Amino acid sequence: MWKLNIIHRDLKLSNILLHFPDNPELETMEKKAKLVFLRRVNLTETKFICKIADFGLSTIYDPVKKGH
């Protein structure tokens, strides 16, 4: 997004998603079981991908425009 000059403007924990590709069973788990998994997982040793969500307030930065 940085290379495309897109500014998120609403970055917070609830807009950051964690994906665990080595744990496909998470897809079918109930919410309570997922919370147990997240409390026990060691993020320094487990492969995961962070994804940014909710670009509803995002904007494209234009350095040529006045006021930037």
Q: Where are the domains of the chain?
A: 2-60
pLDDT digits (tens, 9 = 90+) for 19-52: 999 999 999 999 999 999 999 999 999 999 999 9
Average pLDDT, the chain: 92
**pLDDT value of position 5:** 92
Per-residue pLDDT at 1 exceeds 90: no
Handedness of CA 18, 36, 41, 46 (dihedral sign): negative
Read off the pLDDT band of 67 (50, 70, 90).
low
Contact 11, 52 (CB under 8 A): yes
